[in-house]
Amino acid sequence: MRTILAILLLAFGLPAVADQRLFYQPLNSDAAVTPAQWQQLWRATAAQGGKTLIVQWSAYGDSDFGGAHGWLADSLRAARAEGLELVLGLYMDPAYYQRIEELDDDGLSNYWKAQLGRSFAQYQTVRKDWDLAVSGWYLPLELDDWHFRQPSRREALQRQLQAFNRQLDKPLHISAFSAGKLAPRVNAQWLEQLAGLGLKVWWQDGAGTGRLPPLVRQGYEQALPCQVGVVREAFRQVSAPGQPFRAEPAQPQLTGGCHAEAVFALRYRSWTQGILRRD
């Protein structure tokens, strides 16, 4: 989920299980997909057990993908018509990861306040203009245990998220990933505290990027409370550190344990069973 190249892939043999949740990251290039292709894709999604589509954002920088009558809104209405529930992402700053790297504690708190303001404005716009039924909202600003390793930062974030969540009419979803800077137990306690605010918290398993050794990732996952969901990264990064991101599809390892699971995959040349053929 930490690359603009990422997109929903209903894929290459995803397990056909009930209540499948899938992440979709809109890109401006998706405007080329026709309404008939969207309908075909969402119909196949539902046929393969898909129930919930988590859309990572509905505004990215200066782009709102055509707004209330644009291709994204229209495609999501088609998804609803095929029976998919929607968790709709709000506003994403393209410079988010660069900005949080540069800021001190006060700067980070002020920056988050501004970004939550942008997301709330997008929330109001969608509710007023998009005519789109949603079951939840997704905040695209991903958390990690590097930039939030200090307790003071986590406490400030918790207060901001609690206040933001109170303004929404549906549950707020948010995701986090582990960089190995907090102990698994401490990381799990942090995410459990966020879930205790009424948020739906997702932890990215890191299998695709492979930044942590498998046994370390397993330790983080095993420490998680059941109310924290797990996002299965259905890709493998093949580019070297510091090089442009490249990845290839991989089978997600759904465990069927106590955690809710979602699948996040990558765009590649063909979507599932030739539904959408694209260069």
Q: Would the pLDDT of 1 be above 70?
A: no
Residues sharing a CB contact under 8 Å with residue 108, sequence separation 6 or more, in sequence order: 100, 147, 153, 156
Average predicted confidence (pLDDT) for the chain: 86
Q: Would the pLDDT of 46 be above 70?
A: yes
Q: How far apart are CA 123 and CA 19, in angstroms?
A: 26
R_g of the chain, CA atoms, integer Å: 18
C-alpha to C-alpha distances, 109 to 138, 197, 251, nearest whole angstrom:
20, 18, 38
* Cβ proximity of 227 and 188 under 8 Å: no
Q: Would the pLDDT of 190 be above 90?
A: yes
- Among the listed residues 81, 82, 92, the one whose alpha carbon sits nearest the alpha carbon of residue 26: 92
- Give the DSSP per-residue string, 217-256: HHHHHHHS-TTSEEEEEEEEE-SPTTSPP-EEE-------
Mean pLDDT, to the nearest integer, of 238-256?
A: 71
The more confidently predicted of residues 255 and 19 is 255
Query: pTM score > 0.75 for this model?
Result: yes
- Give the DSSP per-residue string, the chain: --STTB-----TT----TTEEEEE---GGGGGS-HHHHHHHHHHHHHTTEEEEEES-SEETTB-TTGGGSHHHHHHHHHHHTT-EEEEE-EE-TTHHHHHHH--HHHHHHHHHHHHHHHHHHHHHHHHHS----SEEEEEEEEETTTT-SHHHHHHHHHHHHHHHTT-SSPEEEEEE--S-S-HHHHHHHHHHHHTTT-EEEEE--TTT--S-HHHHHHHHHHS-TTSEEEEEEEEE-SPTTSPP-EEE-------SSS-EEEEEB--SB-GGGSSB--
* Cβ proximity of 255 and 234 under 8 Å: no
* Cβ proximity of 208 and 233 under 8 Å: yes
**What domains does the chain contain, in order, with CATH numbers?**
20-274 (3.20.20)
> What was the pLDDT predicted at 254?
75
What phi, psi does 3 have (nearest 5°)?
A: -150, 140
Q: How confident is the model at residue 39 (pLDDT cuts 50, 70, 90)?
A: very high
Q: Would the pLDDT of 145 be above 50?
A: yes
* Cβ proximity of 47 and 32 under 8 Å: no
Residues sharing a CB contact under 8 Å with residue 177, sequence separation 6 or more, in sequence order: 1, 2, 142, 143, 144, 203, 204, 206
Mean pLDDT, to the nearest integer, of 225-249?
A: 79
> What was the pLDDT predicted at 167?
98
Q: Measure CA 275 to chain center.
A: 23
Q: Would the pLDDT of 25 be above 50?
A: yes
Q: Would the pLDDT of 270 be above 50?
A: no
The more confidently predicted of residues 85 and 33 is 85
Output the six-digit token pair for 80: 């609803």
Q: How confident is the model at residue 99 (pLDDT cuts 50, 70, 90)?
A: very high
Q: How far apart are CA 160 and CA 33, in angstroms?
A: 37
